[in-house]
Amino acid sequence: MMGHAHALSGIVGWMAVVPFLDGREFFGVAFDLGPGEIVAGALVCAGAALIPDLDAKSSTITNTYGVFTRALSALFNWMFGGHRNGTHSLLFALLMGALTQALALWSPLAVQVFVVLLLGIAFNGLGLGNEKNRVAYEVINAMGTVAVALALYTAGTSYDWIGLAVALGCLLHFAGDMATELGVPLLWPFSKYRFGQNIGFTTDGKVERNLVTPALTIAILLLSFYLFPWPEMLPEA
């Protein structure tokens, strides 16, 4: 599975759109994106970029929260017609974004819980820890998730934009899968045509490991230098 590349693409994708969103208002939602919102959005988008693979029992997200996500995976697989069908459509991305935005409007507490879950998924996708020692891997993941979520909460991070971040994460997942041999049915359920299936890259292949992952990592570093006010954030000498 492409969990690592998908999560990285979510981070890059959110950081890339921040300059176009910051200080603007869309559909009644004001985008005031400070450092906290940039970090939170990047990690939320990274976690959301794994959501479409909830339809696969072997995926990173399916195995993140044990029996809970495995049960949810079985439900998604049944509801959306198996792996790489309904969960890989524009309709699904719109649905996930709308439901998440509705959750944020309904309950600030509920959206905080959802953010914690997405952070855990993001860190799992990014490979935070050592999978050879599963217990240590899960402990490190949990500690990192709680620490970051608590830091974002105490910083007063706003999640008014969360629906867009989740929808964007799903769309970035589709873009990644379109580069593989199976393609994605973007127009499901109206059409079964799979976009990108003739490109032919394989999942977890040499291109992904040796080109895509390093390129995304470098992009994150460059965007970090561009977006964050480092002179103001660093302690005075």
Tens-digit pLDDT profile for residues 223-235: 998 998 766 656 6
Tokens of 139: 């402990």
Looking up tokens 């999942």 gives 203
- pLDDT of 235: 62
pTM: 0.90
Q: What is the pLDDT of residues 53-81, one digit of tens each?
A: 999 988 989 988 889 999 999 999 999 99
pLDDT per position as a tens digit, 90-100: 999 999 999 99
Q: What is the pLDDT of residues 105-149, one digit of tens each?
A: 899 899 999 999 999 999 988 876 545 556 666 777 788 888 999
Q: Exposure of 140 by Cβ count < 10 A (0-12 exposed, 13-18 middle, 19+ buried)?
A: middle
Q: How far apart are the first and last CA of the chain?
A: 46
Report pLDDT for 1: 46
pLDDT at 167: 97
pLDDT tens readout for residues 168-199: 999 999 999 988 878 899 999 999 899 986 66
Distance CA 55, CA 87 (A): 7
CB 121 within 8 A of CB 64: yes
Mean pLDDT over each residue of the chain, to the nearest integer: 87
